[in-house]
Amino acid sequence: MKLEKEAGAVEYFFTKSPAGLGNLKSEVILCKKCGLSKTRKNVVFGAGSDKAKLIFVGEAPGEDEDIQGLPFVGRAGGLLTKIIEAMGLKRKDVYIANILKCRPPNNRPPAPDEILACRDNLRKQIDMIRPKVICTLGKFASQTLLNTETPISALRGKFGNYNGIKVMPTFHPAYLLRNPGDKKLVWEDMKKVMKELS
Ligand code: URA
């Protein structure tokens, strides 16, 4: 009798409770919707707080991320961490995700069919977290989330909108490693994000 009740309670928990990020991750790590599932070492789902007020969205995992299964853990990730800390935050306070959850071979740019196949994963992550601001890093994340072909140089620094959430497009940290002179522009963008969060 007691066992039956407990089994019922467990069933209720799994069938009726709203699916959280953990449930979504367990689905996504099995994904085979595009060819990247054949070459990936790990799915890089995303990391950080599920109550984050700020989400950073990058392009796709690189080699380090593919090996560790975590977003932005290579050189570009080191710079992103510095940007987050300069904003007075820690990585665990924000959420970090990518447009693609799997590494494109040789870090080639995401293909349109891969973006389409992966699009719902990021949409669901954003829906579950409902942040105040999304910061899109680079051309692919900015154009995909804002559904535009406007170049990143014209998008950056101006808030856009994704389903009622403010989106700040800025340069990708990998670009900043090649063009350190543009770090000051990114800092201008982050100041606008901080003002919005305060
Ligand atoms: N570049 C990205 O866009 N995402 C990562 O996770 C790492 C590098």
Full DSSP string of 27-46: HHTT--SSTHHHH-SS----
CA distances from 22 to 38, 65, 120 (A): 23, 19, 16
| DSSP label at residue 128 | H
Would the pLDDT of 36 be above 50? yes
pLDDT (mean) for 146-158 = 97
| DSSP label at residue 136 | E
Our answer on whether the CB atom of 65 is closer than 6 Å to any ligand 1 atom is: yes
User: Which homologous superfamily does the CATH classification assign to the domain defined by 20-197?
Assistant: Uracil-DNA glycosylase-like domain (3.40.470.10)
**Which sign does the torsion angle of CA 194, 45, 136, 119 carry?**
negative
Would the pLDDT of 15 be above 70? no
C-alpha to C-alpha distance for 74 and 103, rounded to whole angstroms: 13
pLDDT (mean) for 81-106 = 98
Pick from 59, 83, 139 the residue to mutate for probing ligand 1's pocket: most ligand atoms within 8 Å of its CB: 59
CB 95 within 8 A of CB 131: yes
**Higher local confidence (pLDDT), 7 or 102:** 102
Closest CA to 187 of 171, 174, 198: 171
What pLDDT score does 20 carry? 86
What pLDDT score does 19 carry? 59
What pLDDT score does 12 carry? 35
**Helix (H/G/I), strand (E/B), else coil: 133:** strand
**Higher local confidence (pLDDT), 167 or 2:** 167
Our answer on whether the CB atom of 136 is closer than 6 Å to any ligand 1 atom is: no
Would the pLDDT of 18 be above 90? no
Q: How many CA atoms lie within 13 A of 78 on its CB side?
A: 4
Our answer on whether the CB atom of 71 is closer than 6 Å to any ligand 1 atom is: yes
Our answer on whether the CB atom of 98 is closer than 6 Å to any ligand 1 atom is: yes
Alpha carbon of 66 to ligand 1 centroid (Å): 10
Atom of ligand 1 nearest to the CA of 138: 3
Would the pLDDT of 14 be above 50? no
pLDDT (mean) for 138-152 = 97
As a whole number of angstroms, the longest Cα–Cα distance in the chain is: 70
Would the pLDDT of 8 be above 90? no
Alpha carbon of 43 to ligand 1 centroid (Å): 13
Would the pLDDT of 126 be above 90? yes
- Which tokens in the block code for residue 163? 């389903």
Which protein residue has the closest C-alpha to ligand 1 atom 7? 72
pTM as predicted: 0.90
User: pLDDT averaged over the chain?
Assistant: 92
Confidence of residue 16 (pLDDT cuts 50, 70, 90): very low
pLDDT (mean) for 156-175 = 98
Backbone angles phi, psi at 167, to 5 degrees: -120, 125
Would the pLDDT of 5 be above 60? no
